[in-house]
Amino acid sequence: MTERHTFGGTLNPITCHAWNKDRSQIAISPNNHEVHIYQRDGNDWKLVDVLNQHDLRVMGIDWAANTNRIVTCAVDRNAYVWTQSEDGKWKPTLVLLRINRAATCVKWSPFENKFAVGSAARLISVCYFESENDWWVSKHIKKPIRSTVTSIDWHPNNVLLVAGSTDYKVRVFSAFIKDIEQHPTPTAWGPKKPLGQMLAEFKNSTSGGGWVHNVSFSADGNRVCWVGHDSAINVADAGNGNSMIKYRTEYLPFLSCEWISPQSIIVAGHSCMPLIYTVDGGKITLAAKLDQSQKRETSGISAMRIFQSLDRNSRTENSDTNLESIHQNAITCICVYQGAKGNVQKVSTSGMDGQLCLWDINELCSSMKGMRI
């Protein structure tokens, strides 16, 4: 079963979205400088607050589950940490990013004591709260990033950070902040390193491969997956000598990816439907399409019916522009709705068609005999 939701009565594109801990509220960016907070009321949504501190389009939102803080970043080069007051309203605190280009993505660390902001300034701002001065400050990861950082994700140990960028590279960095945390234990990516130390670098392709759109650490942190503008899915394994697997798909480029089990990845993008791929034995294979709304007719029968309709109505062209999928435009964001990264039961997707969809992965598995994720 798939739930479909729209907000505000208009189908404005949704740039990104984030959930609170119990999934009773959602924060969305309707492709402008605002962030709208909606409260779920049965099958409807009630607008409870509008965060309008940014001047230009909001590019990233993340909602910390335990501390109940929202962080946002935007093209205006700013980031804000929002805290909820006793009256339920959200109050902003400016973050000192120290960047001269647009902020493009943001994500809280697993322990929620810091967050990272990617930007078009060819750097990552690792931000933390400085209690002495009562403000959020940042330290930069710069080299060897040579272009816009498009996506970031945290390792489960709260220290390592993976970033994808438009220079066709995926890199794993240390984001250790000695002022607020203890030295971490070594991981499969290498021993403990100071802030900004690069532990691994992967080319999206030997022949370029296009921009990297999204990156994701696996639940154990030993593997990284990413998707780029070459319509391929990539997995790098630190436990196997940083070996890399690449699988070129037949679909349009993907914009988002997420691990849903130790062997499975969900991806979505310009093809307007979420797809599940499995990683097994050094191979990546398509396991399922979450969108089951595809027409069951063969292409020949569909074409014949189109021509019959044209003849019957004396038309010379087909004006039906609806896609055969639930989403009617590119999917820009995937979030875990139920479960954890290693064992996800439900996911949510939002896109340029203004829709938010909830997908039940468990139900799909039970309806498709023999499918394992």
Which residue type sits at 83?
A: T
CA distance readout (Å), 70 to 108, 125, 306, 348, 373 = 9, 17, 49, 18, 32
User: What's the pLDDT at 161?
Assistant: 97
pLDDT grade, residue 207 (50/70/90)? low
Kindly state the tokens that stand for 151: 């996506």
The domains of the chain are located at 3-294+320-369
Closest CA to 327 of 270, 365, 286, 276: 270
Residue-wise DSSP of 46-58: EEEEEE---SS-E
CA–CA gap between residue 37 and residue 25 (Å, rounded): 7
pLDDT grade, residue 98 (50/70/90)? very high
Kindly state the tokens that stand for 326: 């639930």
Percent of the chain with pLDDT strictly greater than 90? 77
User: What's the pLDDT at 299?
Assistant: 39
Contact assessment for residue 172 and residue 200, using Cβ atoms and an 8 Å cutoff: yes
Mean pLDDT of 196-200: 96
Contact assessment for residue 131 and residue 121, using Cβ atoms and an 8 Å cutoff: no
User: What's the pLDDT at 272?
Assistant: 95
Residues 6+ apart with CB under 8 A from 63: 18, 19, 20, 27, 69, 70
Helices (H), the chain: 299-312, 361-367
CA–CA gap between residue 106 and residue 365 (Å, rounded): 32
Mean pLDDT of 88-109: 96
4-8, 22-26, 123-127, 197-201: segment of lowest average pLDDT: 4-8
Contact assessment for residue 208 and residue 200, using Cβ atoms and an 8 Å cutoff: no
pLDDT grade, residue 295 (50/70/90)? very low
pLDDT grade, residue 317 (50/70/90)? low
Q: Which residue has the higher pLDDT, 158 or 206?
A: 158
Q: pLDDT (tens digit, 9 = 90+) per residue, 20-33? A: 999 999 999 999 99
Phi first, then psi, for residue 31 (nearest 5°) are: 60, 30
User: What's the pLDDT at 363?
Assistant: 80
CA distance readout (Å), 247 to 213, 314, 323 = 16, 45, 26
CA–CA gap between residue 175 and residue 158 (Å, rounded): 8
Kindly state the tokens that stand for 49: 């607050």
User: What's the pLDDT at 300?
Assistant: 43
User: What's the pLDDT at 296?
Assistant: 43
Mean pLDDT of 170-182: 94
Mean pLDDT of 178-187: 89
Give the count of alpha carbons within 13 A of 315, CB side only.
Answer: 11
Residue-wise DSSP of 128-196: EEETTTTEEEEEEE-TT--S-EEEEEE-TTSSEEEEEETTSEEEEEE---TTTSPPPPPBTTBS---TT
Percent of the chain with pLDDT strictly greater than 70? 89
User: What's the pLDDT at 365?
Assistant: 65
Q: Is the pLDDT of residue 143 over 70?
A: yes
Mean pLDDT of 274-281: 94
Q: Is the pLDDT of residue 38 over 70?
A: yes
C-alpha torsion 201→206→210→213, nearest 10: -30
Residue-wise DSSP of 227-247: EETTSEEEEEEGGGTTEEEEE
User: What's the pLDDT at 192?
Assistant: 76
Q: Which residue has the tokens 């014949």?
A: 304
Contact assessment for residue 234 and residue 253, using Cβ atoms and an 8 Å cutoff: no
CA–CA gap between residue 255 and residue 230 (Å, rounded): 11
Which SS3 state, helix, strand or coil, does residue 301 take?
helix
Q: Which residue has the higher pLDDT, 259 or 367?
A: 259
Phi first, then psi, for residue 206 (nearest 5°) are: -65, -25
Domain 3-294+320-369 in this protein, CATH class: mainly beta
Q: pLDDT (tens digit, 9 = 90+) per residue, 43-87? A: 899 999 999 999 999 999 999 999 999 999 999 999 999 999 998
Mean per-residue pLDDT of the chain: 90
Q: Is the pLDDT of residue 328 over 90?
A: yes
Q: pLDDT (tens digit, 9 = 90+) per residue, 346-368? A: 999 999 999 999 999 988 766 65
Which residue type sits at 312?
A: R
Mean pLDDT of 121-137: 93
Q: Is the pLDDT of residue 248 over 50?
A: yes
